[in-house]
């Protein structure tokens, strides 16, 4: 007769997880806690749309991992249950970072198929979306999530201008815009062209960083839905919450729970211990770094690699190395430096260099090895 497996050890077909999807980045929680006033303000702005009028435009701001995307997904779901006369489309500007690709996404959301790949002009693309809205007598609400990426590519003003002036070219087109920025240093309104500023006067909704008790509360609910009973103790959960509070990003905590669970399974354990959390934190603390890197083009990645290998080097020297590798000119180089700086991947600081006047020194915002490992 086979021995019972050791108490506290998993047999190979068991898992500490009840539902691992609960710890994934695109999971929308059933209950959305500690964001009542923000949800209320967003609902207020969209109420006219449900009555068939143009909604109020909204600017949503707050650091990463503070519930902005979830709030919008919840709101859009709710509008969908109330009426079929409002079409809601969320655009991820990390992926769609030009005006044309934003409108391709809106076309897809309007017609349920992608625009012809042979490429149609922007004017035609836009015209078809607007005409369909008027024909169906529907209101369109567009959320430009992570609009900071449109700013990094200098596409934000054109995109917003087209959306906000649609009714002038297509009478009867009703479009409301929610812009979402997770870059605390970006002054959205100030950075827009004056022609956009004159028509864009949004309601503002701010999402602050969650406090430690709120983090414990939110993560405890994920634990309940995602892990089996008794997998993680209150003390261990508090440690996860502390680590999350240090980063200010709730996604770090959610990722940390998932990785700690996988670490426990790797040990064959039925419970998640402190050591699983500490080991997982070495990876989870870089979640925003990994996400930023995955969205960079090959050229942007190669410049970051050059900067990593010349950490703290002068911009001129870095450019020479970059130019040798890519044959790209100084203008493109300068644009990429600014983008990497805005993304918080590097610090580009001006300093007075003896005999050379003012020069920019470029240094990484993360540990060199963490960046190079993830670029591989």
Binding residues for ATP: 66-70, 210, 222
Q: Where are the alpha helices (DSSP H) in the chain?
A: 36-50, 68-82, 99-111, 122-136, 148-152, 156-164, 166-169, 188-191, 194-197, 212-226, 234-247, 250-266, 274-284, 287-294, 298-309, 315-326, 330-342, 368-375
How far is it, in rounded angstroms, from Cα 312 to Cα 299?
20
Task: Identify the DSSP state of 204.
Answer: E
How far is it, in rounded angstroms, from Cα 116 to Cα 290?
32
Dihedral sign, CA of 226, 231, 234, 240? negative
Q: How far is CA 272 from CA 262, 278, 355, in A?
A: 9, 11, 58
**Residues annotated in a binding site:** 66-70, 210, 222
Q: Are 163 and 129 in contact (CB under 8 A)?
A: no
The DSSP bridge partners found for residue 87 are 140
How far is it, in rounded angstroms, from Cα 120 to Cα 159?
17
Q: Are 125 and 103 in contact (CB under 8 A)?
A: yes
């Amino acid at each position: 007769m086979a021995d019972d497996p050791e108490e506290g050890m998993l047999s190979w077909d068991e898992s500490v997880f009840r539902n691992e999807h609960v710890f994934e980045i695109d999971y929308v929680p059933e209950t959305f806690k500690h964001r009542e006033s923000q949800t209320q303000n967003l609902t207020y702005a969209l109420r006219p749309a449900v009555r068939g009028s143009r909604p109020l435009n909204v600017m949503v701001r707050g650091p990463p991992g503070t519930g902005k995307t979830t709030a919008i997904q919840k709101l859009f779901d709710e509008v969908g249950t109330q009426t079929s006369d409002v079409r809601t489309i969320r655009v991820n500007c990390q992926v769609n970072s030009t005006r044309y690709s934003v409108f391709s996404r809106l076309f897809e959301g309007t017609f349920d198929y992608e625009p012809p790949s042979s490429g149609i002009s922007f004017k035609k693309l836009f015209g078809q979306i607007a005409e369909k809205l008027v024909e169906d007598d529907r209101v369109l609400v567009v959320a430009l999530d992570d609009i900071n990426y449109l700013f990094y590519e200098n596409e934000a003003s054109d995109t917003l201008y087209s959306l906000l002036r649609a009714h002038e070219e297509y009478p009867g087109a009703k479009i409301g815009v929610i812009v979402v920025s997770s870059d605390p240093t970006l002054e959205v309104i100030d950075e827009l062209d004056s022609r956009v500023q004159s028509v864009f006067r949004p309601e503002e909704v701010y999402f602050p960083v969650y406090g430690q008790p709120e983090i414990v509360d939110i993560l405890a609910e994920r634990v309940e839905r995602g892990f089996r009973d008794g997998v993680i103790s209150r003390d261990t959960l508090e440690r996860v919450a502390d680590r999350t509070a240090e980063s200010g990003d709730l996604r770090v905590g959610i990722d940390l729970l998932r990785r700690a669970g996988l670490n426990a399974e790797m040990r064959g354990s039925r419970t998640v211990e402190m050591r699983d959390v500490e080991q997982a934190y070495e990876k989870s603390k870089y979640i925003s770094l990994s996400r930023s890197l995955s969205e960079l083009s090959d050229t942007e990645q190669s410049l970051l690699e050059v900067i990593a290998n010349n950490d703290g080097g002068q911009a001129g020297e870095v450019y020479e190395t970059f130019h040798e590798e890519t044959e790209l000119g100084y203008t493109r180089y300068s644009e990429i430096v600014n983008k990497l700086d805005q993304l918080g991947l590097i610090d580009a600081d001006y300093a007075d260099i003896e005999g050379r006047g003012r020069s920019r020194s470029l240094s990484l915002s993360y540990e060199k090895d963490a960046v190079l490992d993830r670029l591989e």
